[in-house]
Amino acid sequence: MNYNLFGANTGLKASQLILGAASFGTRSGYGATPGEAMKILTSYAEAGGNFIDTADRYQLGESEEIVGKFIEHQRSNFILSTKYTRSSDTNPGMCNYGNHRKAMRQAVESSLKRLRTDYIDLYMPHFDDGYTPLDEIARGLEDLVTSGKILYTGIANFPAWKISAIAGLSKLNAIQIEYNLVQRTADREFLPMAKQLGLATMMYSPLAGGLLTGKYRLGENGRLNQSAVGVKENETTTKLINLLTQIAGDLNVQAGQVALAWVLSKGAFPIIGARTLQHLNDALTIINLSVENITSLDEISAISLGYPHDLLSTVQG
């Protein structure tokens, strides 16, 4: 496992792969049993991983409980990230939901108890609730840093302009976004913004819910076919999966490992969401892609950057 500085605004050395704990537990009906989750955590740590990402909403708090049990007697060895906004309750009360100070305070105290720790390394709102003033979020996170309950701050699933505004109000360290070969809209604003502001970029769903592994073609089960929408390839994703399969065959590896290696090539921190020990072992087999492989995947997955980027590319030298 390699380690990289967590953004330009910290001296924190984080493992190149973050372990996502969204599927740790079964309270939501689909996930890893506590026993399987502990095996995954143990193997990740033995491989040198030191960064675990969870949230109060994951498995209605069970994910944090499992992670807390695992790290209880080795807390200093791990970077712990968690999120709030949606609450761990199935039907949260109106004043317990959202990004405002009251929800933030209640959420962090509950997360600290479930995680069996007195501080959280990285804390962030999980989603933009659409109504909490940005300065309230910025000042609330700042107060938690001052109190010592959290060390670093981040933002997940907010529009880029709101993240920039929060970063202008208070020190910000990281963003968490969805990014993979079929979801590259972050190329337009998020990635240039993060580079300009020195923010570490955590990328979830690097395998697009398992789509990029090609497993759904074989009739295998996964997160996507647990949803009402199901799994449907289109012309673009079919070409992409075909290319991943071709590269994987040439390298004698798996298509998912190629897709993950492509995300790693972007200099960010992929979040691997293992539900089984085999999922983790597949992700830990890190491969290096050639420049030609990366270029071909870049080209087949490229999106239009839209206005004003497309215009500027024609007028800038």
Q: Which CATH number characterizes residue 281's domain?
A: 3.20.20.100
pLDDT of residue 93: 82
Q: Is residue 82 within 8 Å of 152, Cβ to Cβ?
A: no
pLDDT of residue 216: 65
Give the Cα separation of 272 and 270 in Å (integer): 6
Tell me the residue range of the domain where 53 lies.
Answer: 3-315
Q: Which amino acid is present at 99?
A: N
Using only the alpha carbons of the chain, give its radius of gyration: 19
The residue whose two tokens read 């691997």 is 272
Q: Which of 106, 128, 107, 109 is nearest to 55 (CA)?
A: 107
Q: Is residue 105 within 8 Å of 77, Cβ to Cβ?
A: no
Q: Is residue 174 within 8 Å of 202, Cβ to Cβ?
A: yes
Q: Which of 292, 269, 273, 290 is nearest to 282 (CA)?
A: 273
pLDDT tens for the chain, residues 1 to 317: 999 999 999 999 999 999 999 999 999 988 999 999 999 999 999 999 999 999 999 999 999 999 999 999 999 999 999 999 999 988 888 888 899 999 999 999 999 999 999 999 999 999 999 999 999 999 999 999 999 999 999 999 999 999 999 999 999 999 999 999 999 999 999 999 999 999 999 999 999 988 999 876 755 555 555 444 445 667 888 999 999 999 999 999 999 999 999 999 999 999 999 999 999 999 999 999 999 999 999 999 999 999 999 999 899 86
The catalytic residue positions are 58
**Structural domain count of the chain:** 1
Beta 13-15 vs 3-5: how paired, if at all?
antiparallel
Q: Is residue 43 within 8 Å of 277, Cβ to Cβ?
A: yes
Nearest 5°: the CA angle 189, 195, 199 is 100
Q: Is residue 92 within 8 Å of 99, Cβ to Cβ?
A: no
Q: Can you give the pTM of this predicted structure?
A: 0.93
Q: Which amino acid is present at 122?
A: L
Phi, psi torsion values for 30, nearest 5 degrees = -150, 115
